[in-house]
Chain A
Amino acid sequence: AQSVTQLGSHVSVSEGALVLLRCNYSSSVPPYLFWYVQYPNQGLQLLLKYTTGATLVKGINGFEAEFKKSETSFHLTKPSAHMSDAAEYFCAVSSYNQGGKLIFGQGTELSVKP
């Protein structure tokens, strides 16, 4: 079975500060890892994903994440937070032999203070 744990249900940063959202996964097979963002009353938008290859993945809006197999982590970072980054962020894991079904973490709400 696969699972995802997002550390911190709520993270607050100041505008311009580093954003770090933590995600740890559990998977007995090579994982596919995703970060999605959700704005209020909307669907999910893909920020970035890792399937194979380079372990540092760059996404939209200046976000990036690094797949660290030894730490079973896929933390999301952004060097400088913008007010528009305030949203709910979900980390998800899937795999080929699970048919690509996404297993989501519980989500992290990011607040950005002016």
Chain B
Amino acid sequence: GAVVSQHPSRVICKSGTSVKIECRSLDFQATTMFWYRQFPKQSLMLMATSNEGSKATYEQGVEKDKFLINHASLTLSTLTVTSAHPEDSSFYICSARPGGPQETQYFGPGTRLLVL
């Protein structure tokens, strides 16, 4: 149980285009989902927290107009990287949590984004 999927697993796009990444909890309802960014050989950096039906809460320094997050249902959250540039190239990982703050976050397999 507690499986989280991400789609696509990797994507290559041209500079200036937008890319949407989906995160789904397959066998549980996620009241909260999180989006992280990970650079090579580095730790995970929390980008934003999203709760179903409400606006995402972004961490300091993360541009909300560039990284659009939608949490339309209890099993789906999407991250759209708008007008992507090469510096947005990274590994994006989502996680989903079935309950309150003491519950475990379950992570997706990640999406590798390369912007040319």
Interface: B28 (CB within 8 A): no
Interface string of B84-114 (1 = CB under 8 A from A): 0000000101010100111111111110100
* A46 close to B42 (CB less than 8 A): no
* B108 close to A43 (CB less than 8 A): yes
Q: How far is the CA of A95 from the CA of B104 in the complex (A)?
A: 12
Interface string of B1-40 (1 = CB under 8 A from A): 0001010000000000000000000000000101000000
Interface string of B38-69 (1 = CB under 8 A from A): 00001110100100000000000000000000
> How many A residues touch the partner, as a band?
20 to 34
> How many B residues touch the partner, as a band?
20 to 34
Set B43, B49, B95, B104: member contacting A107, Cβ < 8 A: B43
Interface: A41 (CB within 8 A): yes
B50 nearest CB across to chain A (Å): 12
Interface: A67 (CB within 8 A): no
Chain A contacts of B101 at CB under 8 A?
32, 94-100
**In the complex, given contacts A49-B104, A102-B46, what are 5 additional A-B residue pairs having Cβ atoms less than 8 angstroms apart?**
A41-B91, A43-B107, A94-B101, A96-B101, A103-B46
B residues contacting A by CB (< 8 A) are: 4, 6, 32, 34, 42-44, 46, 49, 91, 93, 95, 97, 100-110, 112
